[in-house]
């Protein structure tokens, strides 16, 4: 495994980071508790020391599972990344910005973006309890909240750093303009944004700004929620309540198949799977600090970690770049 310094912080994070959205179950067709814990343990066993989660993932379940999985382990060798700012329990009392309705147990639950200072402080205390720790390595605003001034949210993060409850502060899904505004109040450690072979829009302005200002970029959905593994063109099927039934509809399946057919021989030459090749390519892109990869069981977790066991030459990266122009 390779460990990388995150932006202007002293955090050294694993290049492949465990993404804990799916183990929350909500929007992913449920989960299996022991499989999820085994996936976290396997990640740690294979050098993936960084775990990224959020209160919203399973309405607290993802954080609780991580807390249970790391109990008794050396906390100093594990980096916990979590988020705040998505409220589903009504505690915002109608304040904030309506986001969407999340389905859970046959119910429709309204979710709000809410990043007021008091809510930031409240959420951190709840996350610390669920995670079973007394500090968070990186706390990130999950989504922008248009109803709360950015400087108010960033001031709360500065306060939490001063109190030692968080080591560093970042954002997620922030535009260039929002990053610039936040930078007036705090030294941002990172911006967690979607980035993949099929979605490279951040290369236009977010990545150049991050490189210039020593801000880390955390890439999420590098496999496009499993689409780039190729398995959904074969035998794998999605459950009815899996959000990917709709998500995959934005892509042209024939173009994706054509790309995967080109990538497959290269992966085989590297003795790697398609998912490993895609993850490795993502780690090698300019400005990308770490790459999130989800896993529902130990086998998937070990497979993700092994993406760092080979490299790609400049010629190979250029060849892949040429293929991507056709997608």
Round to the nearest angstrom and report the end-to-end CA distance of the chain.
30
Which residues lie closer than 8 Å to 220 by C-beta, 6 or more apart?
19, 52, 172, 192, 193, 194, 195, 292
3-class SS shares of the chain: helix, strand, coil, % to 5: 40, 20, 35
- Given 18, 57, 220, 232, the catalytic residue: 57
57 catalytically annotated: yes
DSSP 105-174: TTEEEEEEE---HHHHHHHHHHHHHHHT-S-EEEEEE-S--TTS-HHHHHHHHHHHHHTTSEEEEEEES-
Residue 218: strand, helix, or coil? strand
DSSP tag of 83: E
The sign one gets for the Cα dihedral 24, 27, 32, 36 is negative
User: Which tokens sit at 53?
Assistant: 């989660």
Q: Please return the burial class of 318, using the count of CB atoms within 10 Å of its CB with bins 0-12, 13-18 and 19+.
A: exposed
Other C-beta atoms within 10 Å of 253: how many?
12
The answer to whether residues 147 and 97 touch, using CB atoms and an 8 Å cutoff, is: yes
Give the active site residues.
Answer: 57
């Amino acid at each position: 495994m390779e460990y990388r310094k995150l932006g202007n912080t002293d955090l050294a994070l694993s290049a492949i980071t465990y993404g804990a959205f799916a183990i929350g179950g909500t929007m992913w067709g449920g989960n299996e508790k022991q499989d999820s814990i085994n996936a976290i343990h396997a990640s740690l066993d294979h050098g993936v020391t960084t775990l990224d989660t959020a209160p919203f993932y399973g309405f607290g379940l993802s954080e609780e599972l991580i807390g249970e999985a790391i109990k008794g382990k050396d906390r100093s060798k594990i980096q916990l990344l979590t988020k705040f700012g998505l409220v589903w329990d009504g505690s915002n009392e109608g304040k904030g910005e309506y986001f969407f309705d999340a389905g859970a147990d046959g119910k429709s639950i309204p979710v709000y973006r809410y990043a007021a200072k008091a809510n930031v402080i409240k959420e951190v205390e709840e996350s610390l309890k669920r995670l079973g720790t007394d500090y968070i390595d990186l706390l990130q605003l999950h989504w922008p909240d248009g109803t709360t001034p950015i400087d108010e949210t960033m001031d709360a993060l500065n306060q939490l750093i001063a109190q030692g409850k968080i080591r560093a502060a970042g954002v997620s899904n922030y535009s260039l303009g929002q990053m610039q505004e936040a930078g007036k109040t705090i030294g941002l450690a990172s911006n967690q944004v979607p980035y993949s072979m099929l979605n490279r829009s951040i290369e236009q302005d977010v990545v150049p700004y991050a490189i210039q200002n020593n801000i880390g970029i955390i890439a999420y959905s590098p496999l496009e929620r499993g689409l780039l593994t190729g398995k959904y063109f074969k035998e794998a099927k999605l459950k009815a309540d899996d959000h990917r039934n709709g998500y995959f509809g934005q892509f042209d399946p024939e173009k994706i198949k054509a790309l995967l057919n080109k990538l497959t021989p290269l992966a085989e030459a590297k003795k790697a799977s398609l998912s490993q090749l895609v993850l490795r390519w993502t780690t090698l892109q300019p400005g990308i600090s770490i790459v999130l990869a989800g896993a529902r069981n130990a086998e998937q977790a070990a497979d993700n970690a092994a993406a760092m066991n080979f490299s790609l030459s400049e010629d190979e990266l250029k060849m892949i770049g040429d293929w991507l122009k056709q997608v």
